[in-house]
Amino acid sequence: MRWNIRDIRQMKGRDKIPMLTCYDFTMAKLLDQAGVALLLVGDSLGNVTLGYETTVPVTMDQMIHHASAVMRARPKALVIVDMPFLSYQVSPEAALESAGRIIKESQADAVKLEGGERSLPAIRKIVEAGVPVCGHLGLTPQSVLALGGYPLQGRGQEGDRLLEEAKMLEEAGCFCLVLEKVPAVLAQRVTDAIGIPTIGIGAGAGCDGQVLVINDVLGLDPEFRPRFVKRFAELGSQIVEAAATYCNEVRQGEFPAPEHEYKDTSGHLSSAKGSTKTTKTRKKKAKE
């Protein structure tokens, strides 16, 4: 049985919800085996997969391309797809069209979009059409240019405003809410004040669930070590070591070894080799 929206909502205040980002078929299969409840095809793929400095350049086609790959793994997890920059800000109608494309072309389960009050018309339009929406408050990476970077959000009176916007998103129909890089006390206030699950990233342990970028969890980038990330493995160094060993064995002629070769059991190749040897022998005798 696959996870659905109702399952996730019912976990509120009962069970903690694990979410991880995922951008491809193979990783989707592995994370599904691990029992991840929510997979987020995040626009963070712009940073960790496509090499952009921000998520802003990521396109709709790129999001659908990666989401489709994830869905072809047939995961039991509920799959949420980020709506990229300017796919929902222009108008509610354009937002609905974008969300519809994502769901129809990738066959994912839900979409996620950033922003509070300014995003309410788009959220209502999408939800009314039957597409589940996950909200996103606090640090919103698509606003990096306006924010001047990735600063902590929700300090002081900003926290009261964020709390009100969380209630607005719930009222607009969001089934869950990501809280990114906000004080833990504020995240706890929001979690206690709304009836939908909160998923934290850099928002403390009080949220109903947690999300991290899979590359960070696996330690693929040795230089990226933000405070909110726990590295559950150090695969980056292991990958470098494995690739270096491979290169060395190829150069030394150690790989492939006989056990990596295919054998022709038909006998044709052996007779052909014998014929070649006989021919060479005859030519040598003829010269003598």
Residue 208, token pair as written in the block? 């109903």
Cite the beta strand spans of the chain per DSSP E.
17-21, 38-41, 78-82, 110-112, 133-138, 176-180, 198-201, 209-212
- Give the angle 145-151-157 at the CA atoms, nearest 5°: 110
Catalytic-labelled residue, pool 180, 249, 254, 259? 180
User: Residue 207's closest CA among 188, 235, 228?
Assistant: 188
d(CA 53, CA 63): 17
Residues β-bridged to residue 132: none
State the Cα–Cα distance between residues 186 and 184, nearest whole angstrom. 5
Our answer to whether residue 180 is catalytic in this structure is yes
Closest by CA to 204, choosing from 185, 190, 188, 184, is: 184
Catalytic residues: 180
